[in-house]
Chains A and B, each alone.
Chain A
Amino acid sequence: MMSFIDRLLEQRARSAAQQAPRRGMLKALGGVLVGASTLPLLPVARAAGPDVASRPQETGSDTDCDYWRYCAIDGFLCSCCGGSANSCPPGTEMSPVTWIGTCHNPADGRNYVISYNDCCGKPGCGACLCQRDEGDRPPYRPDKTNDINWCLGTSSAAYHCSAAVVVGVAFEE
């Protein structure tokens, strides 16, 4: 589902940050991150370190809008609504039809296909509104849009929150 308030607040914050003295460093860091996401991945080399087993497979909080899985999400985070990043809150119904995004997991350096399943059947959760439109396209690309209510194929059309389920490693182009 589409939301907007967080995006606007984030946008304003970004503008303010870009006007701060740290601007050069932040922009450079951003460029490195963007560049890294487009480079071919080297999972073997990355996994070769001696402490690989002890490294977390994911980092960050799933109640934070900046959490890596939420790169193309738009709505209330189910992890703030009684569910989790990949599960719906009690008594709701998970939509079997979804939109997808491709998000970069900084913990293992891989890109993953994320299925954004809406949880349906109760009023809007109202907590942790989060909008990050990376890769989002208008609804004429239904597979890539977060502008529609994805409570499709469910018994109720009422939108409650959105989960972000890992459904596979993304192929590199």
Chain B
Amino acid sequence: MVKQSLFVALLTAIGMLVSAEEIRPPLAVEPTGIIETLPGRYPADWFLVHDAAFFHMSDGKVVVLDTTKDSVGEQVQGMFPVSLMGTFIEAQSRGEIFAVETFHTRGTRGHRIDVLTIWDTVNLSAVAEVILPVGKRFMGMPERVALQLMNGDRWLAIFNLSPSTTVTLVDLEARAVMGEVPIPGCSFIYANGDMGLSALCADGRMLTVVLNDDGSEKSRVMSEVFFDSDESPIFERPAVVDNIAYFPAFDGRVQPVAMTGSAALPMASWPLYGSGEETWAPSGIGIDGEDDLGRIYFLMNAEANGVDGMHNAGGSEIWVFDPEARRRVLRIPLEAWGLSLAVSRGEEPKVLVTNPTDMSVELYDGLTGSFIKNITGFGQETPLLLRGAQ
């Protein structure tokens, strides 16, 4: 009798479940082929994380990361490739990202192709390409100064090192190479006015070339010698505020250079360290940045000053300066270690830092210096260079 009652109760329960399932509507049939898009201007807290894929360089990529979110599914907004130690720059005014990369027809062998790939920022689609002179473009650790926009973002200047040094000029409207500017003995491209470019020279000077509307050369001038590339080298990566490039030096000083639009004028250098801090010096890969408040940031190493071979090691703190006052306004102690940094735009800057001990990235508040979060597991392996969204 008891068994019969249980059996009836079980049947009743199953019946109720079945009824409930019949009442709940099934999932709607979904369309296929949906592709997400991104906003026309990426929000201030988005960063472009360049993973150079050091162990398999043909697979370099840039991940678009929303650092306000707390799960990987929300943080990763998209990705585009930058093959074989490529370089890239975002042109917000054009809604485009320019990536210089290299391919071989058989992977690591075969015919070589150097190409400027143009991505649109909304779809992250390759919308155009410009074939570049083969075997010339700079190929190495990611650099922010290997590409430079000019002439109202209508031209792109591309640094070449083969190892002779030149600049390839690309007309972004025509999607065509305009020509090549020789910069013998000098390297990289620093914006100098809208029609000028400067380059850092092995002999301790800066070259400035100003171009005409047709891309031909209007003027060429060398600065005075202001550093010794053997004895007192500066890093090639400046923080830039109000047309002054602040080059950190191996010896813990900073060398400002005024970009006048027609020349590069070295100014008086000053130490980043204070009394009792003489062992500190900048160190790392992407070692500096600037914010919209006019402050400059340097990744600092407590043991690097005067120690040969320590300049790429990274550091344990970020120091923030008011460059006009030559005054440090903030120290940001890192959770573990830093290799590269980038600063977001806006009045409330955030600092994203590569932590090389586990190759994650960490977010810090640029106003208070407080640690906000660690971001990892987004497919990164070697995020060597970071850029804030423009």
List A residues at the B interface (Cβ < 8 Å): 1-5, 7-8, 11-12, 14-15, 18, 72, 97, 121-124, 126, 131-142, 147-149, 151-152, 155-159
Contacts and interface: CB of A to CB of B under 8 A. Distances in A.
A135 B187 CA distance: 19
Contacts of B57: 123-124, 158-159
Nearest to A151: B139
A141 B229 contact: yes
A7 B312 CA distance: 8
Contact of B357 (A12, A15, A126, A155): A12
A73 B57 CA distance: 19
Contacts of A131: 312
Interface in B307-366: 308-314, 337, 339, 356-357
A3 B201 contact: no
Report the interface size class on chain B: 35 or more
B294 interface: no
B108 A8 contact: no
Contact of B187 (A4, A18, A140, A151): A140
Contact of A158 (B104, B202, B230): B104
Given A3-B54, A140-B200, A152-B163, 9 more contacts: A11-B310, A11-B313, A12-B337, A126-B55, A137-B230, A139-B161, A152-B162, A158-B57, A159-B57
B24 interface: no
A15 B310 CA distance: 12
Given A135-B309, A136-B312, A123 B108 contact: yes
Contact of A156 (B112, B233, B339): B112
Given A2-B140, A133-B309, A158 B303 contact: no
A35 to B, nearest CB: 13
A54 B56 CA distance: 44
A129 B108 CA distance: 20
Contacts of B110: 156
B141 interface: yes
Nearest to B114: A157
B63 interface: no
Nearest to A131: B312
Contacts of B201: 140
Nearest to A135: B308
Contact of A123 (B56, B356, B382, B384): B56
B236 A121 contact: no
14 contacts: A4-B54, A4-B314, A8-B356, A121-B108, A123-B58, A134-B309, A136-B309, A137-B230, A138-B235, A140-B202, A147-B312, A149-B85, A158-B58, A158-B84
B197 interface: no
A124 B139 contact: no
Contacts of B115: none
B310 to A, nearest CB: 7
B3 interface: no
Nearest to B206: A140
A133 B162 CA distance: 22
Contacts of A5: 356
A135 B231 CA distance: 10
A149 B313 contact: no
A152 B114 CA distance: 14
A97 B162 CA distance: 9
Contacts of A133: 308-312
A142 B199 CA distance: 14
B89 interface: no
List 9 tightest A-B contacts by C-beta distance, closest first.
A148-B140, A158-B108, A140-B187, A133-B309, A134-B309, A149-B139, A138-B236, A2-B141, A11-B313
Contacts of A151: 139
B84 A8 contact: no
Interface string B98-133: 000010100111101000000000000000000000
Interface string B21-38: 000000000000000000
Contact of A140 (B108, B236, B314, B384): B236
A157 B230 CA distance: 28
B313 A7 contact: yes
Nearest to A137: B233
B64 interface: no
B311 A136 contact: yes
A134 B308 CA distance: 5
